[in-house]
Amino acid sequence: MDLAYLRAHPEHLPTFLTHQRIRETPVSGGSICAASRLTLDDGHSVFAKSWPERSARPAPDDFFATEAAGLRWLREAGTVPVPEVLVALPELLALDWVEPGEPTPEAAEAFGRGLAGLHRAGAPAFGARWAGFIGSLPQDNTPDPGPWPAWFARCRLLPYLRMSVDGGALAGEAAAVVERVVDRIGDFGGDEPPARVHGDLWPGNLLWGADDRVWLVDPAAHGGHRETDLAQLSLFGGAPHLDRVLDAYQEAWPLADGWRERVPLHQLHLLLVHTAIFGPAYADAVVAAARAALAGSRRATVDG
Protein backbone atom coordinates (compact mmCIF):
# COMPACT_ATOMS: atom_id res chain seq x y z
CA MET A 1 0.00 0.00 0.00
CA ASP A 2 1.37 3.40 -1.01
CA LEU A 3 -0.10 6.86 -0.48
CA ALA A 4 -1.89 6.95 -3.83
CA TYR A 5 -3.54 3.59 -3.12
CA LEU A 6 -4.52 4.70 0.39
CA ARG A 7 -6.16 7.85 -0.94
CA ALA A 8 -8.07 5.82 -3.53
CA HIS A 9 -9.06 3.01 -1.14
CA PRO A 10 -9.12 4.31 2.45
CA GLU A 11 -11.54 1.58 3.48
CA HIS A 12 -8.80 -1.03 2.93
CA LEU A 13 -6.49 0.30 5.65
CA PRO A 14 -7.95 -1.84 8.51
CA THR A 15 -7.46 -5.00 6.42
CA PHE A 16 -3.82 -4.16 5.74
CA LEU A 17 -3.25 -3.51 9.42
CA THR A 18 -4.97 -6.72 10.47
CA HIS A 19 -2.76 -8.76 8.15
CA GLN A 20 0.39 -6.86 9.21
CA ARG A 21 1.13 -5.65 5.71
CA ILE A 22 2.09 -2.17 6.93
CA ARG A 23 4.95 -1.37 9.32
CA GLU A 24 3.37 0.01 12.49
CA THR A 25 5.19 1.85 15.28
CA PRO A 26 3.28 2.88 18.42
CA VAL A 27 3.36 6.60 19.25
CA SER A 28 1.61 8.83 21.74
CA GLY A 29 -2.07 9.34 20.97
CA GLY A 30 -3.10 11.31 24.02
CA SER A 31 -5.19 10.06 26.93
CA ILE A 32 -8.05 8.60 24.88
CA CYS A 33 -6.94 6.82 21.70
CA ALA A 34 -4.30 4.31 20.70
CA ALA A 35 -2.01 5.71 18.01
CA SER A 36 0.74 4.56 15.68
CA ARG A 37 2.99 5.69 12.87
CA LEU A 38 2.38 3.71 9.70
CA THR A 39 5.10 3.43 7.09
CA LEU A 40 3.72 2.76 3.60
CA ASP A 41 5.48 0.95 0.76
CA ASP A 42 6.54 4.24 -0.82
CA GLY A 43 8.18 5.36 2.44
CA HIS A 44 5.40 7.83 3.26
CA SER A 45 4.39 7.98 6.92
CA VAL A 46 0.83 8.22 8.23
CA PHE A 47 -0.48 8.93 11.73
CA ALA A 48 -3.31 6.56 12.67
CA LYS A 49 -5.47 6.60 15.78
CA SER A 50 -8.13 4.16 16.92
CA TRP A 51 -10.33 3.46 19.92
CA PRO A 52 -8.39 1.26 22.39
CA GLU A 53 -9.27 -2.42 22.06
CA ARG A 54 -9.29 -2.85 25.84
CA SER A 55 -11.66 0.03 26.45
CA ALA A 56 -14.65 -0.81 28.62
CA ARG A 57 -16.96 0.78 26.04
CA PRO A 58 -16.96 1.16 22.26
CA ALA A 59 -16.12 4.36 20.46
CA PRO A 60 -19.07 6.78 20.43
CA ASP A 61 -20.97 7.02 17.16
CA ASP A 62 -19.37 9.49 14.74
CA PHE A 63 -16.37 10.00 17.05
CA PHE A 64 -13.73 9.89 14.30
CA ALA A 65 -16.06 11.35 11.66
CA THR A 66 -16.50 14.39 13.88
CA GLU A 67 -12.76 14.89 14.30
CA ALA A 68 -12.25 14.48 10.56
CA ALA A 69 -14.95 17.06 9.78
CA GLY A 70 -13.37 19.52 12.18
CA LEU A 71 -9.88 19.01 10.78
CA ARG A 72 -11.11 19.55 7.22
CA TRP A 73 -13.03 22.68 8.22
CA LEU A 74 -9.99 24.18 9.93
CA ARG A 75 -7.78 23.22 7.00
CA GLU A 76 -10.16 24.90 4.53
CA ALA A 77 -9.31 28.28 6.02
CA GLY A 78 -5.74 27.92 4.74
CA THR A 79 -4.22 29.96 7.56
CA VAL A 80 -2.75 27.47 10.07
CA PRO A 81 -1.24 24.11 9.06
CA VAL A 82 -3.63 21.21 9.69
CA PRO A 83 -2.77 17.60 8.73
CA GLU A 84 -4.63 16.17 5.74
CA VAL A 85 -7.30 13.59 6.59
CA LEU A 86 -6.48 10.44 4.62
CA VAL A 87 -8.86 7.93 6.22
CA ALA A 88 -11.96 8.51 8.35
CA LEU A 89 -13.74 5.29 9.30
CA PRO A 90 -15.95 4.48 12.31
CA GLU A 91 -13.07 2.68 14.00
CA LEU A 92 -10.05 4.55 12.66
CA LEU A 93 -8.69 7.96 11.65
CA ALA A 94 -5.50 8.38 9.62
CA LEU A 95 -3.74 11.68 8.90
CA ASP A 96 -0.69 12.74 6.99
CA TRP A 97 2.36 12.45 9.26
CA VAL A 98 3.93 15.63 10.65
CA GLU A 99 7.54 15.24 11.68
CA PRO A 100 7.94 16.73 15.17
CA GLY A 101 10.40 19.55 15.79
CA GLU A 102 11.28 22.06 18.48
CA PRO A 103 9.33 25.20 19.43
CA THR A 104 10.85 28.44 18.14
CA PRO A 105 9.88 32.09 18.59
CA GLU A 106 9.57 32.47 14.82
CA ALA A 107 7.13 29.58 14.56
CA ALA A 108 5.16 30.99 17.49
CA GLU A 109 4.78 34.37 15.80
CA ALA A 110 3.70 32.82 12.51
CA PHE A 111 1.20 30.70 14.43
CA GLY A 112 -0.24 33.75 16.19
CA ARG A 113 -0.83 35.48 12.88
CA GLY A 114 -2.26 32.33 11.34
CA LEU A 115 -4.58 31.73 14.28
CA ALA A 116 -5.99 35.23 13.87
CA GLY A 117 -6.65 34.40 10.22
CA LEU A 118 -8.34 31.14 11.16
CA HIS A 119 -10.65 32.91 13.59
CA ARG A 120 -11.42 35.60 11.00
CA ALA A 121 -12.60 32.88 8.61
CA GLY A 122 -15.68 32.76 10.82
CA ALA A 123 -18.56 30.34 11.17
CA PRO A 124 -22.22 30.52 10.15
CA ALA A 125 -23.34 30.08 13.77
CA PHE A 126 -22.16 29.03 17.18
CA GLY A 127 -21.79 25.26 17.16
CA ALA A 128 -21.35 23.28 13.96
CA ARG A 129 -23.11 21.15 11.39
CA TRP A 130 -21.52 17.97 12.81
CA ALA A 131 -21.91 16.24 16.16
CA GLY A 132 -19.62 17.49 18.89
CA PHE A 133 -17.09 15.84 21.18
CA ILE A 134 -14.62 17.32 23.65
CA GLY A 135 -12.21 14.58 24.63
CA SER A 136 -14.41 11.52 25.00
CA LEU A 137 -17.49 13.51 26.07
CA PRO A 138 -20.34 14.67 23.84
CA GLN A 139 -20.54 18.38 23.16
CA ASP A 140 -23.68 20.16 21.97
CA ASN A 141 -22.93 21.59 18.54
CA THR A 142 -26.51 22.45 17.60
CA PRO A 143 -26.13 25.60 15.44
CA ASP A 144 -27.18 28.66 17.41
CA PRO A 145 -27.29 32.31 16.29
CA GLY A 146 -26.26 33.55 19.74
CA PRO A 147 -25.65 35.86 21.42
CA TRP A 148 -22.44 34.27 22.63
CA PRO A 149 -22.84 34.62 26.44
CA ALA A 150 -26.11 32.69 26.69
CA TRP A 151 -24.88 30.03 24.25
CA PHE A 152 -21.60 29.61 26.13
CA ALA A 153 -23.37 29.17 29.46
CA ARG A 154 -25.98 26.77 28.09
CA CYS A 155 -23.78 24.63 25.82
CA ARG A 156 -20.24 24.91 27.18
CA LEU A 157 -20.52 25.43 30.94
CA LEU A 158 -23.72 23.94 32.34
CA PRO A 159 -23.49 20.46 30.74
CA TYR A 160 -20.03 19.81 32.22
CA LEU A 161 -20.94 21.38 35.54
CA ARG A 162 -23.84 18.90 35.77
CA MET A 163 -21.60 15.98 34.78
CA SER A 164 -19.02 17.04 37.35
CA VAL A 165 -21.62 17.33 40.11
CA ASP A 166 -23.26 14.02 39.18
CA GLY A 167 -19.86 12.32 39.15
CA GLY A 168 -18.92 13.68 42.57
CA ALA A 169 -16.07 15.88 41.30
CA LEU A 170 -17.73 19.15 42.35
CA ALA A 171 -20.07 19.84 45.26
CA GLY A 172 -21.11 22.56 47.66
CA GLU A 173 -19.28 25.86 47.22
CA ALA A 174 -17.24 24.52 44.31
CA ALA A 175 -20.41 24.00 42.29
CA ALA A 176 -22.03 27.16 43.62
CA VAL A 177 -19.23 29.46 42.45
CA VAL A 178 -19.55 28.09 38.90
CA GLU A 179 -23.30 28.62 39.09
CA ARG A 180 -22.65 32.26 40.01
CA VAL A 181 -20.56 32.63 36.86
CA VAL A 182 -23.41 31.18 34.81
CA ASP A 183 -25.94 33.48 36.47
CA ARG A 184 -23.79 36.52 35.65
CA ILE A 185 -22.75 35.43 32.16
CA GLY A 186 -24.20 38.58 30.62
CA ASP A 187 -21.95 40.81 32.77
CA PHE A 188 -18.60 39.75 31.33
CA GLY A 189 -18.82 41.56 28.00
CA GLY A 190 -16.79 40.58 24.96
CA ASP A 191 -19.73 39.37 22.86
CA GLU A 192 -18.61 38.77 19.26
CA PRO A 193 -19.89 36.93 16.17
CA PRO A 194 -18.84 33.27 15.91
CA ALA A 195 -15.21 32.64 15.00
CA ARG A 196 -13.80 29.46 13.46
CA VAL A 197 -12.19 27.91 16.53
CA HIS A 198 -10.18 24.79 17.30
CA GLY A 199 -12.17 24.39 20.50
CA ASP A 200 -9.69 22.27 22.51
CA LEU A 201 -6.56 24.35 22.12
CA TRP A 202 -4.59 23.42 25.20
CA PRO A 203 -0.82 23.31 24.53
CA GLY A 204 -0.80 19.54 23.97
CA ASN A 205 -2.86 20.00 20.81
CA LEU A 206 -0.19 22.12 19.16
CA LEU A 207 2.28 20.08 17.13
CA TRP A 208 5.56 21.94 16.62
CA GLY A 209 6.83 20.58 13.34
CA ALA A 210 10.33 20.04 11.99
CA ASP A 211 9.28 22.42 9.18
CA ASP A 212 9.28 25.25 11.77
CA ARG A 213 5.51 25.53 11.68
CA VAL A 214 2.86 24.94 14.34
CA TRP A 215 0.22 22.39 13.33
CA LEU A 216 -3.26 22.00 14.84
CA VAL A 217 -4.35 18.52 15.92
CA ASP A 218 -7.15 16.91 17.96
CA PRO A 219 -9.74 19.66 17.52
CA ALA A 220 -13.23 20.06 18.89
CA ALA A 221 -13.84 22.50 16.04
CA HIS A 222 -16.93 24.68 15.93
CA GLY A 223 -18.15 28.23 15.73
CA GLY A 224 -17.21 29.80 19.05
CA HIS A 225 -15.46 32.75 20.64
CA ARG A 226 -11.88 33.42 19.56
CA GLU A 227 -10.91 34.31 23.13
CA THR A 228 -11.66 30.71 24.15
CA ASP A 229 -8.89 29.32 21.94
CA LEU A 230 -6.44 31.91 23.21
CA ALA A 231 -7.35 31.34 26.86
CA GLN A 232 -6.87 27.59 26.52
CA LEU A 233 -3.34 28.11 25.21
CA SER A 234 -2.25 29.28 28.66
CA LEU A 235 -3.63 26.23 30.53
CA PHE A 236 -1.54 23.38 31.95
CA GLY A 237 1.80 25.18 31.84
CA GLY A 238 1.09 27.28 28.77
CA ALA A 239 2.23 26.95 25.19
CA PRO A 240 5.91 27.62 24.43
CA HIS A 241 6.60 31.23 23.48
CA LEU A 242 3.01 32.14 24.35
CA ASP A 243 3.88 35.83 24.62
CA ARG A 244 5.09 35.76 21.00
CA VAL A 245 1.89 34.02 19.92
CA LEU A 246 -0.33 36.60 21.63
CA ASP A 247 1.67 39.60 20.44
CA ALA A 248 1.54 38.41 16.82
CA TYR A 249 -2.18 37.68 17.15
CA GLN A 250 -2.84 41.16 18.52
CA GLU A 251 -0.96 42.75 15.64
CA ALA A 252 -3.02 40.78 13.12
CA TRP A 253 -6.41 41.19 14.83
CA PRO A 254 -6.55 43.13 18.11
CA LEU A 255 -8.69 41.67 20.86
CA ALA A 256 -11.59 43.50 22.47
CA ASP A 257 -11.12 45.53 25.65
CA GLY A 258 -11.19 43.42 28.79
CA TRP A 259 -9.98 40.22 27.15
CA ARG A 260 -7.38 39.55 29.85
CA GLU A 261 -10.06 39.67 32.58
CA ARG A 262 -12.12 37.15 30.59
CA VAL A 263 -9.33 34.55 30.30
CA PRO A 264 -10.53 32.57 33.38
CA LEU A 265 -14.10 32.59 32.07
CA HIS A 266 -13.03 31.03 28.79
CA GLN A 267 -10.76 28.54 30.56
CA LEU A 268 -13.64 27.38 32.72
CA HIS A 269 -15.14 25.32 29.89
CA LEU A 270 -12.11 23.05 29.45
CA LEU A 271 -11.48 22.83 33.19
CA LEU A 272 -15.05 21.63 33.75
CA VAL A 273 -14.52 19.05 31.02
CA HIS A 274 -11.55 17.81 33.03
CA THR A 275 -13.53 17.46 36.26
CA ALA A 276 -16.25 15.66 34.29
CA ILE A 277 -13.73 13.18 32.84
CA PHE A 278 -10.99 12.90 35.47
CA GLY A 279 -12.77 13.78 38.70
CA PRO A 280 -11.93 16.02 41.69
CA ALA A 281 -8.22 16.36 40.88
CA TYR A 282 -9.17 19.44 38.83
CA ALA A 283 -11.74 20.84 41.25
CA ASP A 284 -9.37 23.44 42.73
CA ALA A 285 -8.53 24.70 39.24
CA VAL A 286 -12.24 25.05 38.42
CA VAL A 287 -12.92 27.02 41.59
CA ALA A 288 -9.90 29.27 41.05
CA ALA A 289 -10.95 30.03 37.46
CA ALA A 290 -14.55 30.74 38.46
CA ARG A 291 -13.50 33.09 41.27
CA ALA A 292 -11.01 34.86 39.01
CA ALA A 293 -13.69 35.27 36.34
CA LEU A 294 -16.07 36.86 38.85
CA ALA A 295 -13.34 39.13 40.18
CA GLY A 296 -12.43 40.19 36.64
CA SER A 297 -16.05 40.96 35.90
CA ARG A 298 -16.29 43.19 38.97
CA ARG A 299 -13.11 45.05 37.98
CA ALA A 300 -14.39 45.57 34.46
CA THR A 301 -17.68 46.93 35.82
CA VAL A 302 -15.88 49.40 38.10
CA ASP A 303 -13.46 50.49 35.35
CA GLY A 304 -16.32 50.89 32.88
Cβ neighbours for 163, distance < 8 A, ≥ 6 positions apart: 137, 272, 276
pTM, rounded to two decimals: 0.94
- 269 belongs to a structural domain: yes
The pLDDT tens digits of the residues spanning 286-301 come to 999 999 999 987 665 5
Domain boundary, last residue among 35, 70, 96: 96
| 34 and 61 together in one domain | yes
Q: Supply angle C-alpha 137, 142, 145, rounded to 5.
A: 135
| 38 and 181 together in one domain | no
Of 38, 279, 302, the residue nearest 164 (C-alpha): 279
- 146 belongs to a structural domain: yes
- 37 belongs to a structural domain: yes
- 290 belongs to a structural domain: yes
CATH of residue 145's domain is 3.90.1200.10
| 264 and 197 together in one domain | yes
| 296 and 149 together in one domain | yes
| 135 and 230 together in one domain | yes
Q: pLDDT class for 302, splitting at 50, 70, 90?
A: very low
Q: pLDDT class for 66, splitting at 50, 70, 90?
A: very high
| 128 and 233 together in one domain | yes
Of 246, 232, 241, 245, the residue nearest 204 (C-alpha): 232
- 43 belongs to a structural domain: yes
Q: pLDDT class for 56, splitting at 50, 70, 90?
A: low
- The arithmetic mean of pLDDT across residues 134-159, rounded, is 96
Return d(Cα 134, Cα 81) in angstroms, integer: 21
Return d(Cα 222, Cα 74) in angstroms, integer: 9
Q: pLDDT class for 61, splitting at 50, 70, 90?
A: confident
| 143 and 277 together in one domain | yes
DSSP structure class, residue 201: -
DSSP structure class, residue 171: -
The pLDDT tens digits of the residues spanning 224-280 come to 999 999 999 999 999 999 999 999 999 999 999 999 999 999 999 999 999 999 999
- The arithmetic mean of pLDDT across residues 145-162, rounded, is 97
User: Domain range spanning residue 30?
Assistant: 3-96
The pLDDT tens digits of the residues spanning 208-222 come to 999 999 999 999 999
